[in-house]
Amino acid sequence: MEERNRAAFGFAPADIDFVLLTHAHLDHCGRLPLLAKRGFRGEIVSTAATRELARVVMLDAAHLQEEEARRDLRRKPHRRTSSAEPAFETEPLYSVLDALNCLDRFGRVADYGKSMDLAPGVRVTFFDAGHILGSASLYLELQEGDRRQTVAFTGDLGNRGRPLLRSPVVPPASHIAVMETTYGDRRHKPIGPSIDEFFDAIAGAFARGGNVVIPTFALERAQEVLWYLRQGREQGRLPALMQVFLDSPMAISATQIFEHHPECFEPQVARQFGAGRDPFALPGLHFTRDATESMAINRFRSGAVILAGAGMCNGGRVRHHLRQNLWRESCAIVFVGYAARGTLARRIIDGAKSVHIFEEEIRVRASIHTINGFSAHADRDELLDWHTQIRPARTFLVHGEEDVMQAFAALLHDTRVEMPEFGQSCEL
């Protein structure tokens, strides 16, 4: 993957006129600074909230890569002079400066439901995808001579009934659908039992005298978890004295950006903002930006809920907290998001007896919980429902694990399903 990140795009970046950015998750905006670095001079169009969040995400990614490159240099000093070593081992994919230059490429801001002419014969409309703050599905109207084609693109599609965001809005029926299939082979558990499970996991660990570690994605999931924690505390289902740490500089920034965009929320949440009430405020909540503050959390042996990234535990501060708490029977690790194959999160979820963290073998003795109902992605039925409303003649599946994509393709009728290879071009 690291090599593929550095590979050529498969097209000339300078030839691209527009990038339509659906949302600010790293797997969607993470290579934009590289695109700009390699010659893209066109316009990036997104919603206002996506632009603000993408800024934080891209700068954070650039910063991490610079740090990693520096660490690499220290560890392998001979590489500084050796011309035989490939340059990519020590050079960041892009720098903070590249990310800042990329921000200059952001142009017009898209409002949900309002169409925008990009170029003669190319019109786009962004629809609320209900996935994360500012996320969008796209509807493209393309005209060439007397040929007209419409394309509906899911981006990442959210699920209905989430506490903060509105439900996804489906674009108009289109000739072509381009879809994600992250959960195309399964149905989510309903949210009610998931919340019960979540509160029980926390209360259980506290009763045993332990902590709770929640590996959290910085965008959306962290804020949703804060929302539920506040609810649990207000309903008396979680102890009033619990200490909550949001131990992720990016999640802290994202939470502040959320507070700028009440227009994106469920009406009930928007009203709370309107009344001057911060829906994420919670007694005993600590924002820990500094590394030293983060390390000080180790003092808490019980009664702490620690939210830290990365959600899949493949990096970030959560690994320190796992090292402190994973081997303790009294603690609980609560997974609230997607964990891809090959990640540390997935190994723990799949029942590993011990795992490697910072070159140390750590036994897994804490209780492990996977709360599946909090997903930010539509499940199989919601994806199918979206597809039924679009009624496309052709369907491209472009995002998801291959067996899941195959399983989802088998459920589609009256449409030609295509699963393009990486780098393949398709005529519309």
For Zn ion, which is the closer residue by CB, 136 or 412?
Answer: 136
Question: Whose structure tokens read 């919670």?
Answer: 282
CB of 131 to Zn ion, least distance (A): 6
**Closest CB to Zn ion among residues 60, 156:** 156
- Using the contact rule CB under 5 A, the part of the chain among 94-102, 149-157, 272-280, 392-400 near Zn ion is 149-157
Binding map of Zn ion across residues 80-99, x = CB under 5 A, - = no contact: --------------------
**Residue 25 engages Zn ion in binding (rule: CB under 5 A):** yes
Of 110-118, 150-158, 248-256, 381-389, which part binds Zn ion (CB under 5 A)? 150-158
* Region of 21-29, 34-42, 226-234, 291-299 interacting with Zn ion (CB under 5 A): 21-29
Is the Cβ of residue 332 or residue 404 nearer to Zn ion in the bound state? 404
Stretch near Zn ion under the rule CB under 5 A, chosen from 17-25, 182-190, 342-350, 415-423: 17-25
User: Cβ closer to Zn ion: 230 or 377?
Assistant: 377
- CA dist 236 and 241 (Å) reads 11
Greatest Cα-to-Cα distance within the chain, rounded to the nearest angstrom: 71
E strands present in 276-392: 285-287, 304-308, 332-335, 354-357, 360-363, 367-370
Which of 165, 326 has the CB closer to Zn ion? 165
Number of chain positions touching Zn ion (CB under 5 A): 2
- Residue 84 corresponds to which amino acid? A
Near Zn ion in 350-369, by CB under 5 A: none
Q: How far is the CB of 400 from Zn ion (least distance, A)?
A: 12
CB of residue 302 to Zn ion, shortest distance in Å:
34
Least separation, in Å, of the C-beta of 177 and Zn ion? Answer: 18
What binding mask, one character per residue, do residues 364-403 give for Zn ion by CB under 5 A, x or -? ----------------------------------------
d(CA 303, CA 244): 9
Find the shortest distance in angstroms from Cβ 311 to Zn ion. 11
Q: How far is the CB of 100 from Zn ion (least distance, A)?
A: 23
Secondary structure of the chain: what % helix, strand, coil (to 5)?
35, 20, 40
Q: Report the chain's terminal Cα–Cα distance, integer Å.
A: 29
141: left (phi over 0), alpha (psi -120 to 50) or beta: beta
Quick one: tokens of 302? 């019980």
d(CA 236, CA 353): 34
**Binding flag, residue 128, Zn ion (CB under 5 A):** no
Closest CA to 313 of 256, 280, 362, 244: 362
Quote the least distance from Cβ 75 to Zn ion, whole Å: 33
Q: How far apart are CA 123 and CA 142, in angstroms?
A: 7
How many CA atoms lie within 13 Å of 247's alpha carbon, on the beta-carbon side?
Answer: 30
Strands 122-128 and 136-144 turn out to be antiparallel
Shortest distance (Å) from residue 135 CB to Zn ion:
7
Q: Which is nearer to Zn ion, 74 or 341 (CB)?
A: 341
In whole angstroms, what is the distance from residue 182 CA to residue 255 CA? 25
Site for Zn ion in 151-180 (CB under 5 A): 156
Chain residues that interact with Zn ion, rule: CB under 5 A: 25, 156
